[in-house]
């Protein structure tokens, strides 16, 4: 039975009921009926330019199933003789001037047009007496993508991928008739256009019109025999021609026992696959904050003692704090003992290879071992190999998923038996950079847990969009829609190469039913997030402040500015000393910065609504608490990425001395200088920030930028002095 929100129809004799607005193609797919498509690709807006998906709906002309919506009482025929013949005619027209085999089919056997033609028994051309069409130009101007217009069928998938998915707006159509073709910018060669070489067009292309050129690499190590490589289980099914074209992008690396393979905090662009032996993976930087002794005053000593006691209490009782450190490998590291061991078949360094992030951990050979080191092109094609993906997914589910769930306080009451049951049901889904995972207003159908990469959460308002959060490995999203009105309350987008654990709504609801404590924790978290969202969205929604300098200096994004009233400030530096005293000798502010009217915006964390500093941390040590302040956890590895990405210079690296195990001399210690990132935490263990408390002239204030400047300057804009 259909309802006002559903549509009932019949497809090839099967009764189908689907939500209103569902296309015939999706309706057929829901009952296992396959309608062939070429120009259509899930995730792209349908345009029905190839008409291969033609179906009989009882009308004068056949309908395009990818675009035509299901209607009540509609009777659809997808495989009658006339429909099949019409489909074959369309295929013959597309194959008439298609190079057979095209480059994609020759190397990978995956040209969708040629595969469909082979399935339908359609040859390249019936007219053997017609002169061959004049070849169109080839474009090899781009570094990593070759353009063959002869293989293009004008399906527009590359155009939609470039425009709608990536929003780069580089590709369009040029010309008419037979000379019509895709073009880049104003019909420029691809390499000279504004193309950013993201590869989304190449991934979307169904034929050999856009193909990978190969990668010139110079990795140090033993060159691998391509025939030997293609016989490895993880490379089976991958074209030897592709591997040959990327020769040098994968090498064999032997390591002796005790040798360091990579170090935490260093930037890398390769991933490692362990063939033989075992390695230890660990964080060598001590799990503690950067501290320095400071006994300048009795006040300082008292403040330090109080800080240590309250800080320790906060660390151990912080309900938002994870128990495991997320790293770029198939395991996580326990906070109390950040070390683990990997063996044959394990992969580490994915995010370094895909997104050029710093290494998240140090890896040392615990015995003689052999690894494959690979660059991004090889890793990407490897991840598309079903055998490799299955192996990595199983390893993650068996070894890391349970720890990841247990490390998240919200899942603390789940039993081991339920976790075992759940991990066999979850899906692991990958998203390329810029991909929208779901949009505000979409139906809510699953909970997501970030396994790899960073997810941006934003909300739309009449005045634009506001970033609510950046989510890293070990965080989750999507619960508000599932526990509310079953619609998404925000838009979530993959910032880089993202992989998520997808828990279907039915399994999520079963978990809430079986574990009331989990439900209570989610309800509490939803209230916290709603309050956080309300606090963030208050900035800028009703403001009349239009001062250009206010916007240019980025003050609109600040939730907590440290302002010094220069008419009262005597430059005594008590605020700086108080900050240092409260943080064991390391100040979190500098009494200098941008100026707005009579106020100095001191160099100290602003708790931005769009905290770019959080993106890319390889171990997830920088996060924003529900109370909105940014904190850096003890396990910071000192890579400096957060400091580089802060637009306002409010995060700094501080060196400190430590004694660590000497990997070259087991059993011995050696002196090391380690860096740790520091940022203002708003002195959350005290009633008010130390800098504000210590100011003898009431010149220092922590304020919400939008509220403060709206209150003081609406209607009387002033020019800022820099």
The arithmetic mean of pLDDT across residues 593-611, rounded, is 75
Cβ-contact 219, 252 below 8 angstroms = no
What kind and span of H or E run contains 503? strand 498-504
Q: Among 189, 212, 235, give the residue marking a domain's end.
A: 212
CA atoms within 13 A on the CB side of 328: 36
pLDDT average, residue stretch 42-68: 92
Instruction: Identify whether 628 is part of a domain.
Output: yes
* Whether residues 585 and 695 fall in one domain: yes
**234 in a structural domain:** no
Q: How confident is the model at residue 179 (pLDDT cuts 50, 70, 90)?
A: confident
Rounded to the nearest integer, the mean pLDDT of the chain is 79
Confidence of residue 312 (pLDDT cuts 50, 70, 90): very low
Q: Is 115 in the same domain as 31? A: no
- Can you give the pLDDT at residue 114? 92
80 or 609: which leads in pLDDT: 80
Averaged pLDDT, 687-709? 79
Contact present, 253 and 271 (Cβ < 8 Å): no
| Residue 616 belongs to a domain | yes
* Residue 13 to residue 24: CA distance in whole angstroms: 14
Q: Which of 537, 572, 603 is the last residue of a domain?
A: 537
- Packing angle of the helix pair 298-317, 574-582 (nearest 10 deg): 50
pLDDT at position 124, please? 64
What pLDDT, on the 0 to 100 scale, is given for residue 354?
79
Is the pLDDT confidence value at 383 over 80?
no
3-state secondary structure 79-116: CCHHHHHHHHHHHHHHHCCCCCCCHHHHHCCCCHHHHH
Closest CA to 210 of 232, 250, 183, 230: 183
Token representation of residue 21: 């607005």
- To which H or E segment does residue 507 belong? helix 505-514
Cα dihedral value 295, 299, 301, 305, nearest 10: -160
Residue 317 included in any domain: no
458-473 confidence digits (pLDDT tens) = 887 665 667 777 888 7
Residue 43: CATH number of its domain: 3.10.20.740
Q: Are strands 347-348 and 271-276 parallel, antiparallel or unpaired?
A: antiparallel
Angle at 444 between CA 439 and CA 450, to 5 degrees: 75
pLDDT at position 13, please?
93
Q: Give 702's pLDDT tier (boundaries 50, 70, 90).
A: confident
Distances, alpha carbon 545 to alpha carbons 190, 562, 719, 721, in Å: 43, 19, 13, 17
168 with 36, same domain: the answer is: no
First-residue to last-residue Cα distance in the chain: 69
Phi/psi class of residue 719: alpha, beta or left (left: φ > 0; alpha: ψ in -120 to 50)? Answer: beta
Pair (526, 558) in one structural domain: no
Q: 3-state secondary structure string, 245-298?
A: HCCCCEEEEEECCCCEEECCCCECCCEEEEEECCEEEECCCCCCCCCCCCCCCH
CA separation, residue 37 to residues 46, 60, 91, 234, 242 (Å) = 11, 21, 11, 30, 26
Residue 260 lies in a domain: no
Count CB neighbours of 253 within 10 A.
Answer: 18
33: domain range?
A: 6-79
The dihedrals phi and psi of 116, each to the nearest 5 degrees, come to -70, -40
Residue 200, domain CATH: 3.30.70.20
What string of DSSP letters covers 647-715? TT---EEEEEEEEEE-TTSTT-EEEEEEEEEE---TTTTSSS-HHHHH-TTS-EEEE-HHHHHHHHHTT
What is the average per-residue pLDDT within 519-524?
87
Q: Are the C-beta atoms of 480 and 474 separated by less than 8 Å? A: no
Residues 670 and 616 in one domain: yes
User: pLDDT tens-digit profile of 9-46?
Assistant: 999 999 999 999 999 999 999 899 999 999 998 888 99
Residue 241 lies in a domain: no
Q: Are 270 and 253 in contact (CB under 8 A)?
A: no
Number of folded domains in the chain?
4
Which of 347, 370, 372, 381 is closest to 250 using CA atoms?
372
- What residues have CB less than 8 Å from 658, skipping those under 6 apart? 286, 671, 672, 673, 674
Give yes or no: residues 557 and 520 share one domain: no
Tens-place pLDDT, residues 656-684: 776 666 666 666 777 677 778 888 777 76
Boundary-marking domain end, from 212, 227, 257: 212
Residue 370's nearest CA partner among 331, 340, 341, 344 is: 344
Section 136-160 average pLDDT:
86
**pLDDT of amino acid 415:** 86
Other C-beta atoms closer than 10 Å to the C-beta of 99 total: 17
Q: Are residues 587 and 692 in the same domain?
A: yes
Structure tokens at 337: 């003992």
pLDDT at 457: 87
Q: How many alpha carbons lie under 13 Å from residue 386 in its C-beta half-sphere?
A: 1
Distances in whole angstroms, Cα of residue 14 to Cα of each of 8, 75, 403, 486: 10, 9, 45, 29
Please give the Cα distance from 358 to 355 (Å, whole number): 9
Residues 32 and 54 in one domain: yes
pTM: 0.58
Segment 608-646, tens digit of pLDDT? 766 777 777 777 778 776 556 777 877 788 888 888 777
Handedness of CA 708, 712, 714, 719 (dihedral sign): negative
Q: Give the DSSP H or E segment for 27.
A: helix 24-30
pLDDT higher than 60, residue 163: yes
Residue 196: what pLDDT?
Answer: 67
* pLDDT value of residue 296: 36
Mean pLDDT calculated for residue range 307-318 = 39
Say what percent of the chain tops pLDDT 70: 79
Residues 110 and 205 in one domain: yes
Cis upstream peptide for 101 (omega within 30°) = yes
Residues 526 and 554 in one domain: no
Looking up tokens 């256009």 gives 193
Give the chain's count of helices (H) and strands (E).
22, 37
Contacts of 416 (CB under 8 A, 6+ apart): 402
Note the pLDDT of residue 310.
35
Question: For residue 341, what are the contacts with CB-CB under 8 A and spacing of at least 6?
Answer: 278, 279, 280, 281, 366
485 in a structural domain: yes
Residue 311: band (very low, low, confident or very high) from pLDDT cuts 50, 70, 90: very low
Asked if pLDDT for residue 224 goes beyond 80, the answer is yes
Give every CB contact of residue 339 below 8 A, 6+ residues apart in sequence: 280, 281, 282, 283, 333
Q: Is the pLDDT of residue 260 over 80?
A: yes
Q: Are 365 and 258 in contact (CB under 8 A)?
A: yes
**Whether the Cβ atoms of residue 454 and residue 616 lie closer than 8 Å to each other:** yes
Examine the domain organization and report whether 695 and 552 are in the same domain.
Answer: yes
Residue 326 domain-assigned (yes or no): no
**Is residue 333 pLDDT above 90, yes or no?**
no
pLDDT at 535 > cutoff 90? no
Q: What is the pLDDT of residues 390-446, one digit of tens each?
A: 777 887 777 777 777 777 778 878 888 888 888 888 888 888 788 889 999 899 999
pLDDT at position 153 over 90:
yes
* pLDDT given for residue 243 in this prediction: 73
Helix (H) or strand (E) holding 527: helix 516-537
Q: pLDDT, tens digit, for every residue of 486-512?
A: 899 889 999 888 889 899 999 999 999
- Which of 198, 192, 188, 142 shows the shortest CA–CA distance to 166? 198
Q: Phi and psi (nearest 5°) for 609?
A: -70, -20
DSSP string, 345-410: T-EE-HHHHHH-PBPSSEEEESSSEEEEEE-HHHHHHHHT-HHHHHHHHHHIIIIIHHHHHHHSGG
How many residues can be counted in the chain?
A: 722
**In contact, 162 and 182? CB cutoff 8 Å:** no
Same domain, yes or no: 506 and 639: no
């Amino acid at each position: 039975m259909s309802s006002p929100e559903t549509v009932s129809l019949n497809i090839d004799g099967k009764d189908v009921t689907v939500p209103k607005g569902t296309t015939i193609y999706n309706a057929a797919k829901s009952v296992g009926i396959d309608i062939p498509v070429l120009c259509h690709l899930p995730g792209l807006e349908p345009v029905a330019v190839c008409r291969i998906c033609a179906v009989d709906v009882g009308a004068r002309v056949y309908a395009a199933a990818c675009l035509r919506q299901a209607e009540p009482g509609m009777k659809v025929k997808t495989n009658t003789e006339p429909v099949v013949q019409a489909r074959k005619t369309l295929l013959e027209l597309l194959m008439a001037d298609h190079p057979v085999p095209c480059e994609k089919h020759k190397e990978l056997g995956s040209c969708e047009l040629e595969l469909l033609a082979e399935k339908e028994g359609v040859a390249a051309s019936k007219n053997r007496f017609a002169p061959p069409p004049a070849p169109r130009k080839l474009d090899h101007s781009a570094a990593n993508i070759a353009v063959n217009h002869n293989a293009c069928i004008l399906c527009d998938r590359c155009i939609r991928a470039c425009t709608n998915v990536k929003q780069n707006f580089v590709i369009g159509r040029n010309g008419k008739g037979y000379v019509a073709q895709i073009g880049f910018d104003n019909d420029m060669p691809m390499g000279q256009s504004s193309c950013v070489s993201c590869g989304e067009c190449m991934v979307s292309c169904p034929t050999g019109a856009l193909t990978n050129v190969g990668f010139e690499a110079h990795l140090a190590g033993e060159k691998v025999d391509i025939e030997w490589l293609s016989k490895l289980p993880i490379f089976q099914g991958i074209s030897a021609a592709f591997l040959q074209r990327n020769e040098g992008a994968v090498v064999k690396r032997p390591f002796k026992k005790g040798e360091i393979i990579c170090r935490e905090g260093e930037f890398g662009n390769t991933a490692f696959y362990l063939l033989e032996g075992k390695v230890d993976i660990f964080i060598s930087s001590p799990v503690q904050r950067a501290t320095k002794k400071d006994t300048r005053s009795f006040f300082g000593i008292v403040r330090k003692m109080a800080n240590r006691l309250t800080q320790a209490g906060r660390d151990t009782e912080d309900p938002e704090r994870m128990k495991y450190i997320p790293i770029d490998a198939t395991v996580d590291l326990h906070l109390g003992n950040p070390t683990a061991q990997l063996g044959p078949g394990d992969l580490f360094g994915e995010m370094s290879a895909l997104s050029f992030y710093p290494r998240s951990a140090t890896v040392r050979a615990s015995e003689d071992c052999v690894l494959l080191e690979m660059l991004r092109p090889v890793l990407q094609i490897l991840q598309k190999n079903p055998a490799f993906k299955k192996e990595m997914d199983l390893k993650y589910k068996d070894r890391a998923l349970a720890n990841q769930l247990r490390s998240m306080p919200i899942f603390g009451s789940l039993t081991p038996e339920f976790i075992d049951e759940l991990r066999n049901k979850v899906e692991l889904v990958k998203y390329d950079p810029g991909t929208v995972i779901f949009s505000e207003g979409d139906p809510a159908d699953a909970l997501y847990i970030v396994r790899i990469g960073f997810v941006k959460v934003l909300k739309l308002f009449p005045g634009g969009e506001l970033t609510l959060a950046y989510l890293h490995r070990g965080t989750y999203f999507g619960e508000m829609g599932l526990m509310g009105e079953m619609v998404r309350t925000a838009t979530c987008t993959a910032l880089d190469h993202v992989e998520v654990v997808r828990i279907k709504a039915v399994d999520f609801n079963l978990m809430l039913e079986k574990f009331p404590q989990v439900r209570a924790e989610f309800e509490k978290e939803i209230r916290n997030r709603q309050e956080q969202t309300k606090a963030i969205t208050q900035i800028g929604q009703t403001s009349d402040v239009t001062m250009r300098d206010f916007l240019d200096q980025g003050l609109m994004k600040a939730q907590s500015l440290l302002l010094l009233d220069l008419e009262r400030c005597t430059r005594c530096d008590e605020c700086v000393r108080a900050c240092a005293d409260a943080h064991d000798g390391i100040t979190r502010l500098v009494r200098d910065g941008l100026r707005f009217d009579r106020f100095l915006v001191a160099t100290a964390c602003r708790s931005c609504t769009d905290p770019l500093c959080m993106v890319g941390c390889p171990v997830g040590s920088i996060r924003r608490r529900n109370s909105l302040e940014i904190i850096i956890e003890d396990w910071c590895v000192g890579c400096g990425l957060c400091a580089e990405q802060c637009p306002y210079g409010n995060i700094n690296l501080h060196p400190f001395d430590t004694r660590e195990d000497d990997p070259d001399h087991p059993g011995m210690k050696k002196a090391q200088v380690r860096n740790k990132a520091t940022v203002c935490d708003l002195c959350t263990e005290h009633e008010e920030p130390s800098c504000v408390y210590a100011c003898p002239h009431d010149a220092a204030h922590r304020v919400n930028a939008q509220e403060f400047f709206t209150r003081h300057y609406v209607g009387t804009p002033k020019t800022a002095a820099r």
